[in-house]
Amino acid sequence: MDITTLTQQYATHFNAKPEIIVRAPGRVNLIGEHTDYNDGFVLPMAIDRAVWLALRPRDDRQVRIYSLELETESGFLMDSLIRDSDWIEYPKGIAYELQKNGYNLRGFDAVMTGDVPRGAGLSSSAAVELAIARAFAVVSGIEWNAVEMAKLAQKAENEWVGVNCGIMDQMASAACKDGQALFLDCRSLEIQHAPLPPGVSVVILDTSTRRGLVDSAYNERRSQCEEAARWFGVKALRDVRVEDLSKWKAESGLSEIAFKRARHIVTENARVLEAIKVMRQGNVSRLGELFNASHDSLRDDFEVTNDALNVMVECAREQEGCHGARMTGAGFGGCAVALVKQEQAEAFTQAVSMLYGQRSGLEASIYVCKASEGASIVQG
């Protein structure tokens, strides 16, 4: 992001210089898909694409935000918050949750921009939420607690905006460290940082297909996981070990489809735990194998890929320098993620883009990413 341009845009719109600039990143989940609502483990990474706010504190409790992308200003008074359905509901929800939790907030004028692709499964909404939370914290003199702010942001999205997301997106945007992935236990909310192996690029491969209306498929899989947990006699599939899977038989009372869903979750949790170990050992070859196994499980057992995701992953895996590739996010469209040798990342990007276009008839958007810092103050 060009801070000079953002500062100029603020001056143009508000006829003043901004005093503070904050940012909060989008994220890509490296491994651990659909494990979050099974009390499991995930391994996201904040990416070097973010939402940025240039702002000045106000002396009252009004918030005004001008969106560069939408070319529109919206705002609210913190003493009279009313739900609506505009983009401003995300900032409004953050203000509501912060106040509900006893924080005394000060208003601000801001210009907002960002380069996290919307609808691609890279958590553009969580980036907005955490950038707003960071802005409120700095103008209101609130000590920044990444985990606490992530929880409040999730609650804002669940209860104010009405989107039933898990905690991973907000935690990644709030708490990630530069150059590292974030291991998150979705039951205890314990976090650990794990370094990315040296000499490796993380490449996001956007299929240009979007998830569409998949709520019913998501809810169906959730209930199948709950059915399997009951059969295994546990609170959640997080408590089932890989060796426990051998107990299942076709006539056991658990449907084959529910067992397949369970097998994905149980083996995926095991893959996340192994991924942490091999990252700390710098074993990128094994990490790539875990990526591949994760995608195959999501394709065959959880059945949440689509043709475009499968084609994209195949194109990536065929390239020299690719350690492994998998779909990332909820599935049914969106993005894949690949681990690629750094020196071959540019050639990889060009080759996959061309091959994917030939095989799918679609145009890919490909981003070579760095692991970035969570929500932070850039200036002021």
Q: Which residues are catalytic?
A: 169
Q: What is the 3-state secondary structure (H, E, C) of the chain?
A: CCHHHHHHHHHHHHCCCCCEEEEEEEEEEEECCCCHHHCCEEEEEEEEEEEEEEEEECCCCEEEEEECCCCEEEEEECCCCCCCCCCCHHHHHHHHHHHHCCCCCCCEEEEEEECCCCCCCCCHHHHHHHHHHHHHHHHHCCCCCHHHHHHHHHHHHHHHHCCCCCCHHHHHHHHCCCCEEEEEECCCCCEEEEECCCCEEEEEEECCCCCCCCHHHHHHHHHHHHHHHHHHCCCCHHHCCHHHHHHCCCCCCCCHHHHHHHHHHHHHHHHHHHHHHHHHHCCHHHHHHHHHHHHHHHHHCCCCCCHHHHHHHHHHHCCCCEEEEEEECCCCCCEEEEEEEHHHHHHHHHHHHHHHHHHHCCCCEEEEECECCCCEEEEC
From the list 218, 267, 221, the residue with the least C-alpha distance to 240 is 267
CB contact at 8 A, 53 and 110 = yes
The rounded distance, in Å, linking the Cα atoms of 195 and 197 is: 6
Query: What are the CA-CA distances from residue 307 to residues 28, 65, 236, 356, 361 (Å)?
Result: 21, 40, 30, 11, 12
CB contact at 8 A, 91 and 73 = no
The rounded distance, in Å, linking the Cα atoms of 26 and 78 is: 26
Q: Which two tokens stand for residue 285?
A: 């070859």
